[in-house]
Amino acid sequence: MSINDATPQDWDRLKKEHPAIEIDSKMQEAHDSIDNVSDGSTASYYELPDHASELQHLISHKNMNAQMGEIFRSCYRYGIASHSDQLRDAKKIKFYIEAEIERLETWSK
């Protein structure tokens, strides 16, 4: 049977077998509390805090752990620090992201 052949009785039967999910007050409250929704062009989570004047301020503001801080620093200075070319920075980022993934998989359960 195709969708075009469905009768009103078929639709009623399907509606009873597969009712729509009703949103309860807790689900609505959770949805309404989300304030970091993006329209694709801008979002509040991209705005810099007023007090931030250097990278460490952003790391502290976002409460990043050591791994995420190192990744953030390495991405920011990618290939421009005299002691670290792009390949070294890329390897450093990979090392720290793998450590963060392991931490999450092992300790965040």
Query: What does the domain layout of the chain look like in residue ranges?
Result: 7-31, 52-107
Q: So what's the pLDDT on residue 36?
A: 59
List, in order, residues 6 or more apart from 52 with CB less than 8 Å away.
58, 61
- Mean pLDDT in the chain? 81
pTM above 0.85, yes or no: no
Residue closest to 100 by CA, chosen among 74, 76, 66: 66
pLDDT value, residue 6: 72
**pLDDT score of 68:** 95
The rounded distance, in Å, linking the Cα atoms of 73 and 80 is 12
- Beta-carbon contacts of 75 under 8 Å, excluding residues fewer than 6 positions away, are 89, 93
Residues of the chain with pLDDT under 50: none
